[in-house]
Amino acid sequence: MRFLTVAASLAATGTALIAAAPALAAPPGVTGGAHPAEASAASHLAEASATPEATTYDWSNAAISGGGYVPGIIYSQTEPGLVYARTDIGGTYRLDRATDTWVPLLDHVGWDDWNRLGVLSLATDPVDTHRVYAATGMYTNEWDPDNGAILRSDDYGETWEATELPFKVGGNMPGRGIGERLVVDPADNDVLYYGAESGNGLWRSTDAGVTFSQVESFPNVGDFIPDAGSGNSYLEQNLGVLWTAFDADSAEAGPSQTLITAVADVDDPLYRSDDGGETWTPIANAPTGYIAHHGVIDQASRSLYLTTSNTSGPYDGSDGEVWRYDLDSGAWTDITPQARPVGGDFGFGGLTVDRSDPDTLMVVSQIQWWPDVLIFRSTDRGETWSAIWDYDDSKGGEFSSRYDQDISAVPWLRFGKEVGEPQMWAEPTPKLGWMVSALEIDPFNSDELMYGTGATIYRSGNLTDWDLDGGVIDIAPSAQGIEETAIQDLVAPTGDVDLVSAMLDLGGFVHEDIAAVSDAFQGPYFGGGTSVDAAGRDGATVARAGTDGSGAHLAAVSHDEGATWVASPAAADASGPGTVAVGAEGSAVVWSPAGADARFSTDGGDTWETTAGLPVGARVEADRVDPHAFYGFLGGDFFVSADGGATFVATPAQGLPVEGNVRFAAVPGAPGALWLAGGEEDGTYGLWRTADAGSTWQRVDGFDEADTVGFGKAAPGATLPAIYVAAKRDGVRGVWRSIDGGDTWVRINDDEHQWGWIGADIEGDPDVFGRVYIATNGRGIVVGDDSTAAAADPWSPAVAYGAGDVVTYDDATWVASWWTRGQAPGGVSGPWQEVAAEDSGIAVWTASRTFTRGDVVTHGGELWRAKWYARGSEPGASEYGPWEALQY
């Protein structure tokens, strides 16, 4: 029989430094003596602090289904059904055909090697199909201090080994949709080529990716810079060598002999080798003036197909062409689709050949922001084309389309607009996409098309219907599992809503059910969100801060769990949305925009006034119990407000981080109790806690670094909420949990589940013990569930219980104060204490539980605070008793 030992002292709650001293102004304290037997029990419980039990966590994502740019979709040309997707900041994925979900493959990437979640290229081995390779790194400018790496796996991406590169890789740089830069020679699959950025040339491996060396004979490292002289280092990087294609028919008894490699050079864009890469020459008469985005060799027709654009993409491209090159004769044929329904021109990005029907190929405009991208299809090797939509001048300008698009499974793809049928001279909702670099027909199924956009993957399962007279293909999002969003803030309210999030690009979500995709914030719609909060004692009231579609920085408040919102006036003088905090009862709100004065509302967001005493740009949070208490932090200084955010004063706190990422959070159920995490390397960095509203802080031992802290439902029988931190403790980076007020800690993630940089936010669930939500920068909202967590066993008269053991009896949870056997829980005295709490974390008064000075409980619909030791004394029963009503 299993018992849960609670490692917190029930009788000495205040010693954990999160059960609060009075939040702001304490009334005179009264000290009371304990009965000798009760004192003994308290002492016994205090000694029951045991080592935390081992935990096992299951990890998943809150359902968003997409959310970011997918620059590459890579089908295996030899194993049916095998397909990968790469993203610019969220790693790479493999499609599980059985569940039709994408499986993340790089969640092992940790805090220090975060840049490996940027995947610039991916290659699947056409011979040993269990092999897969990824070129990883985030930026080639100073934003990324580390070089890139080639990762290799021989088990479909389940596990990886890394080859460090002597240069940077830009998975999130301009041109990241070009490629693929990393390829496997189908004639000798130990041979790989990689085209590097920033003038680093062409590289080759002859040992299946274990080592790489530069191809010294390759004559051109590229010279195209997206915006030279701009002063923006992000736009001043050389795109370098772009991709390599193999003529598989050229192989003899070894590697392919004929290779074509593209370079970011508008004058000499293509090079050819006919001796296995020993010598190279520019391809005669190759189309110039453009960047060669994609090249595909079709062995059946002995042709290279080529798409080009005048810029690197993925955000731009105003001109381009499509060409066919005869591998044997060297002849070039311009096969550029001529349809331009809205008159403007565009470059071309995605390119695919139907391997089951090589006469069929498709291309797509790299960018046509308005009204939509154009996808083209040819069934005669590019001699003629049909467009997925067009304006038919022969019918008086009638709009025609060859698609039916359904986003009902992912409603946020409407981006705040009403869904409608496409029509003339109007941007459709939903759009077919933008930034379309990845366009692929399944090599074993001519009916399956996938393409990546700046927000999702779309898929069709009836592609050949396009070729019928009047045929229409069905298109729907297919990105389940690719949760590529950059999360800025989270809050898990009490009540029916599971989670509220703020994120870049999509604004954020109210997830009534984290397993179901919901619509993004509406009324107002946010194009990017930075902060969310919920009232500590009223989960129906939530607030958010973000930027709307016009670029205005706003806050918005809802009193019905996000169904409707009241928006603030725009902060015209602000540089960003900043942070927002909601008072414990939901009527007071404080909003601190970036670059502008903070403001507060006392009527739930209907009207706003300027806050006094809080410096511009301070981060704000609200007390979870006291509706008038708010807190702020900036540059090592901590601020407190006792009047609903109207005025703030600095506390005398010393020793907090001055620089770096800092996050702090108020403890549920404990007014004036807060924890703070943050700092930076080579400076003040760690985890602190306070019980006096930030006047004094105590550093938490063992934490070398800490970045974010949050709270969740207490363990069964525990009196203190579970604490979660993303931190380095005793030299180990991870996600850590304490169920005893911070006395002991256990790491709950492992080396296979790290998710890169996770310093934005962490939140526990108020309703489910052990559930934790982690904000990531590219892997969405990670959800952890403690698979070892279990409800306490029912009390049994035959079992001997020790101090701290937890049981259930008469639908209540009880904790043993000392050794007992045969004595049923119940009554005011005795070995058992009944422990209960609201979802808000506030303790529910029970007659059998021991409370100490400062403990806050709810009873009779009111809040009470213990003035001294209390057990069995009912709040409100006597004006001379141990309880005082909190007059909030």
What amino acid positions are annotated as catalytic residues? 88, 505
Residue written as tokens 């041979």?
Answer: 191
Helix (H, G, I), strand (E, B) or coil at 115: helix
- Rounded to whole angstroms, how far apart are CA atoms 684 and 224? 43
Helix (H, G, I), strand (E, B) or coil at 842: coil
- Rounded to whole angstroms, how far apart are CA atoms 679 and 661? 6
Residue 546 near residue 507, CB atoms below 8 Å: yes
Phi and psi angles of residue 122, each rounded to the nearest 5 degrees, phi first: -145, 140
- Rounded to whole angstroms, how far apart are CA atoms 630 and 823? 46
Where would I find the H helices in 610-725?
none
Write the burial class of residue 332 (CB in 10 Å: 0-12 exposed, 13-18 middle, 19+ buried).
middle
The pair of three-digit structure tokens given for residue 53, joined into one six-digit string: 């039990």
- Rounded to whole angstroms, how far apart are CA atoms 706 and 237? 34
- Rounded to whole angstroms, how far apart are CA atoms 335 and 409? 37
The pair of three-digit structure tokens given for residue 287, joined into one six-digit string: 């189309």
Who contacts 304 (Cβ-Cβ below 8 Å, separation ≥6)? 245, 260, 295, 296, 297, 298, 324, 325, 327
**Adjacency order of strands within the sheet including 538-548:** 526-535, 538-548, 553-558, 566-567
Q: How far is CA 617 from CA 394, 488, 510, 577, 597, in A?
A: 59, 16, 26, 10, 8
**Adjacency order of strands within the sheet including 781-786:** 57-61, 781-786, 772-775, 762-764
Who contacts 664 (Cβ-Cβ below 8 Å, separation ≥6)? 619, 621, 631, 633, 674, 675, 676, 677, 678, 709
Phi and psi angles of residue 454, each rounded to the nearest 5 degrees, phi first: -75, 0
Write the burial class of residue 142 (CB in 10 Å: 0-12 exposed, 13-18 middle, 19+ buried).
exposed
Residues paired with residue 723 on neighbouring β-strands, in sequence order: 711, 738
- Rounded to whole angstroms, how far apart are CA atoms 629 and 581? 11
Quick one: how far is CA 217 from the chain centroid? 43
> Which of 509, 500, 547, 497 lies closest to 413, judged by CA?
509
- Rounded to whole angstroms, how far apart are CA atoms 537 and 851? 21
- Rounded to whole angstroms, how far apart are CA atoms 547 and 524? 9
> Which of 54, 94, 231 lies closest to 747, judged by CA?
54
- Rounded to whole angstroms, how far apart are CA atoms 432 and 434? 7
The pair of three-digit structure tokens given for residue 206, joined into one six-digit string: 């002859």
784-804 residues labelled b (16+ CB within 10 A) or e (exposed): bbbeebeebeebeeeeebebb
> Which of 268, 257, 261, 259 lies closest to 243, judged by CA?
261
Residue 152 near residue 133, CB atoms below 8 Å: yes
Write the burial class of residue 230 (CB in 10 Å: 0-12 exposed, 13-18 middle, 19+ buried).
exposed
Helix (H, G, I), strand (E, B) or coil at 362: strand
